[in-house]
């Protein structure tokens, strides 16, 4: 018997389209599963189960009115949406107490496009406060747990998405990424995630948003149990909406066009500053070997400026301008960092400790303008270097994080570790996060596949190849549910 919770959205859509299963059956199976696992995970923070079942019934009642080829790609398929995106009738707090009563009256562009493709949202998922930390924890909804070990973080800021997708509660969803917020939770939760090329997907309807030069550092993209869904979703959500001023005219090409034997794979083992665990180094070499076996040419490379990833990222973000983090934390009024830190220590603050600390850290580049300019220039030089060495027919394999999903709160002691992902936001490269099985503790392993601007199809093609070699998403045994 086919278990609906294990299938990709693409496969579920095919089954619905050919009437092998009804949309209601698929939606109901995922709802019932979420009801079982979500009390352990706190991943879905507001559901729309009643509405979703009505929409599934409507999809089933209308399916005979259309020829199979006329049905949209995700007709009748359930999904989940990160709470940062506006979804009509759902909260859009971004984890801020100031916005706890904020209910969306419109849909974000990417949400609207996914709805037009036939998808049925089951609810919205947890985030970090304002999306600027790698633990999905806030004073509105609380903390999300990792389905492979509830004592460990699910990552952030799309941690709710990563957790519920990995647990089998949703085949795919929407995340966003300004420093690794798609890739880190995808890695920690053992699923696929894609950070698109900067300027490929509009962020209209996402809160918070970015402005000026930083408008392409924030990217919205897909997260999924299976790699094939990444491409289908990317095609749906990409392209100008007439509202996002950062959109560039990239022509999407097809992963099916990519031939591994024509591909050069750059093997970059670390950033030269923060060591990577032996098990992640080992799995990266296994991934390199698998791509070599498939015909790709391998080149071992070290990029010296990657050791300055934090200062490059912070400087380029600061230089880009726009609203400050502390201003958004106060919902239009700068928070008093010292006061909020004192209130937090006394247990009275409406903000999380990472949010308060980041409000302080963001001012550092402004105090050192000459050094900031130096690192902005380093960033521009690194962008050119990466474009040259990756080229039009290459990818770069690079660690996602120095270790597997850490225990809750540990990331606060390792403030620079997320620079393994953040550097590619200011570089604006497309990056696909790929799961590579589990370690001896049953925790996900994985790798980032980095491409040149506009070559999202190549990174996803490599992800598909690695899925064949390593098996892709592995259901977590920790929850002891029947998948």
Residues 95 and 175 placed together within one structural domain of the fold: yes
Residues 74 and 179 placed together within one structural domain of the fold: yes
CA dihedral 95, 99, 104, 109 (to 10 degrees): -60
Task: Answer yes or no: 181 catalytic.
Answer: yes
Q: Is residue 480 part of a domain?
A: no
Confirm if 397 and 459 have CB atoms less than 8 A apart.
no
Minimal CA–CA distance to 456: which of 417, 424, 481? 424
DSSP letter string, 420-468 = HHHHHHHHT--EEEEEEEE-TTS-EEEEEEE--TT-HHHHHHHHHHHHH
Residues 10 and 87 placed together within one structural domain of the fold: yes
Residue 444, strand partner residues:
438
Confirm if 143 and 155 have CB atoms less than 8 A apart.
no
Task: Answer yes or no: 292 catalytic.
Answer: no
Residues 257 and 334 placed together within one structural domain of the fold: no
- Which one is catalytic: 82, 195, 326, 378? 82
pLDDT of residue 481: 58
Confirm if 468 and 138 have CB atoms less than 8 A apart.
no
| Beta strands 264-267 and 142-143, pairing class | unpaired
pLDDT of residue 409: 95
- Which one is catalytic: 23, 128, 157, 452? 157
Residues 330 and 436 placed together within one structural domain of the fold: no
Phi and psi angles of residue 211, each rounded to the nearest 5 degrees, phi first: -135, 170
Q: Is residue 65 part of a domain?
A: yes
Residues 312 and 409 placed together within one structural domain of the fold: yes
- Which one is catalytic: 181, 318, 359, 452? 181
Residue 434, strand partner residues:
447
Residues 177 and 261 placed together within one structural domain of the fold: yes
pLDDT in tens, the chain (483 residues): 579 999 999 999 999 999 999 999 999 999 999 999 999 999 999 999 999 999 999 999 999 899 999 999 999 999 999 999 999 999 999 999 999 999 999 999 999 999 999 999 999 999 999 998 999 999 999 999 999 999 999 999 999 999 999 999 999 999 999 999 999 999 999 999 999 999 999 999 999 999 898 999 999 999 999 999 999 999 999 999 999 999 999 999 999 999 999 999 999 999 999 999 999 999 999 999 999 999 999 999 999 999 999 999 999 999 988 777 778 888 788 888 888 888 888 898 888 888 887 777 767 676 667 889 999 999 999 999 999 999 999 999 999 999 999 999 999 999 899 999 999 999 999 999 999 999 999 999 999 999 999 999 999 999 999 999 999 999 998 665 555
Residues 182 and 298 placed together within one structural domain of the fold: yes
Residues 378 and 439 placed together within one structural domain of the fold: yes
Minimal CA–CA distance to 47: which of 152, 107, 122, 136? 122
Domain that holds residue 28: 4-318+367-470
Write the CATH number for 272.
3.90.1300.10
Residues 132 and 227 placed together within one structural domain of the fold: yes
User: Could you give the number of structural domains in the chain?
Assistant: 2
Domain boundary among 335, 361, 387: 361
Task: Answer yes or no: 387 catalytic.
Answer: no
pLDDT of residue 1: 58
Contacts of 359 (CB under 8 A, 6+ apart): 324, 325, 326, 329, 335, 337, 340
Residues 23 and 108 placed together within one structural domain of the fold: yes
Query: DSSP state, 406?
Result: P
Q: Is residue 479 part of a domain?
A: no
Q: Is residue 477 part of a domain?
A: no
Domain boundary among 334, 361, 388: 361
Contacts of 159 (CB under 8 A, 6+ apart): 43, 125, 126, 127, 128, 135, 136, 144, 153, 185, 188, 189
Q: Where are the alpha helices (DSSP H) in 22-127?
A: 23-41, 49-62, 109-116
Q: Is residue 483 part of a domain?
A: no
Residues 201 and 342 placed together within one structural domain of the fold: no
Q: Is residue 476 part of a domain?
A: no
């Amino acid at each position: 018997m086919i278990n609906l919770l294990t299938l990709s959205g693409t496969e579920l859509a095919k089954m619905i389209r050919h009437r092998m299963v009804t949309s209601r059956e698929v939606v109901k199976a995922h709802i019932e599963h979420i009801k079982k696992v979500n009390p352990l995970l706190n991943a879905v923070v507001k559901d729309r189960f009643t509405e979703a079942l009505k929409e599934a019934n409507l999809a089933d009642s209308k399916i005979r009115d259309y020829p199979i080829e006329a049905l949209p790609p995700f007709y009748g398929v359930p999904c989940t949406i990160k709470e940062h995106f506006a979804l009509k009738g759902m909260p859009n707090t971004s984890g801020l107490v100031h916005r706890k009563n904020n209910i969306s009256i419109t849909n974000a562009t990417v949400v609207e496009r996914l709805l037009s493709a036939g998808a049925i949202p089951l609810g919205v998922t947890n985030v970090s406060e304002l999306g600027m930390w790698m633990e999905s924890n806030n004073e509105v909804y609380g903390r999300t747990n990792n389905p492979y070990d509830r004592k460990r973080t699910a990552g952030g800021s799309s941690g709710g998405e990563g957790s519920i997708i990995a647990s089998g509660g949703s085949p795919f969803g929407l995340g966003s990424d300004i420093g690794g917020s798609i890739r880190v939770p995808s890695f920690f939760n053992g699923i696929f995630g894609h950070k698109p090329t900067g300027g490929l997907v509009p962020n209209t309807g996402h809160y918070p948003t970015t402005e000026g030069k930083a408008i392409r550092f924030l990217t919205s993209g897909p997260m999924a149990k299976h790699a094939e869904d990444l491409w289908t979703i990317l095609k749906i959500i990409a392209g100008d909406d007439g509202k996002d001023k950062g959109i560039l005219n990239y022509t999407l090409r097809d992963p099916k066009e990519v031939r591994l034997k024509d591909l050069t794979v750059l093997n970059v083992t670390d950033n030269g500053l923060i060591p990577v665990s032996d098990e992640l180094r080992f799995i990266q070499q296994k991934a390199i070997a698998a791509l070599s076996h498939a015909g790709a040419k391998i080149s071992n490379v070290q990029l010296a400026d990657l050791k300055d990833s934090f200062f490059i990222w912070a400087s380029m973000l600061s230089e880009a301008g726009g609203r400050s983090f502390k201003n958004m934390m106060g919902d239009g009024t700068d928070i008093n960092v010292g006061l909020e830190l004192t209130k937090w220590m006394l247990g009275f603050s409406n903000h999380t400790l990472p949010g308060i600390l980041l409000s302080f850290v963001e001012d550092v580049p402004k105090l050192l303008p000459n050094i900031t300019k130096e690192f902005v220039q380093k960033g521009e030089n690194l962008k050119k270097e990466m474009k040259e060495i990756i080229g039009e027919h290459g990818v770069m394999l690079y660690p996602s994080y120095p270790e597997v999903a850490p225990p809750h709160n540990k990331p606060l002691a390792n403030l620079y570790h997320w620079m393994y992902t953040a550097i590619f936001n200011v570089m604006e490269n497309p990056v696909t996060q790929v799961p590579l099985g589990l370690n001896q503790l049953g925790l996900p392993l994985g790798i980032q596949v980095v491409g040149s601007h506009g070559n999202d199809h190549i990174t996803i093609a490599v992800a598909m190849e690695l899925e064949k070699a390593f098996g892709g998403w592995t259901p977590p045994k920790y929850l002891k549910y029947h998948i």
